[in-house]
Amino acid sequence: MVLMSNKTKEKLLKRLEKNYDNDNYAKSVSIANKIIKSFPEENEAFMLKLFSLFYLGKEEDVLQLSEEIIKKFPEMMYL
């Protein structure tokens, strides 16, 4: 079930990228979670969340999310 419009998703993706680029990793995780909730196939949100968790030093969360990403997007294992 999609809880937000594609236009809203695009705006949130831009905010996610901006926060990530500005090293605001906690905010990036929060925005990524909003996107993933409504668009569970949005791999950019997953990847920026993963990298943000890494930079926040959340090793267990990184491992758990990595496993989820590999299951959900097996084609990305080779990127």
Domains of the chain: 6-78 (1.25.40)
How high is the mean pLDDT of the chain?
92
Whether the predicted pLDDT of 26 surpasses 80: yes
pLDDT of residue 76: 72
How confident is the model over 10-20, as pLDDT tens digits?
Answer: 999 999 999 99
Instruction: Give the predicted TM-score (pTM) of the model.
Output: 0.89
Residues 6+ away with beta carbon under 8 Å from 13: 35, 42, 44, 45
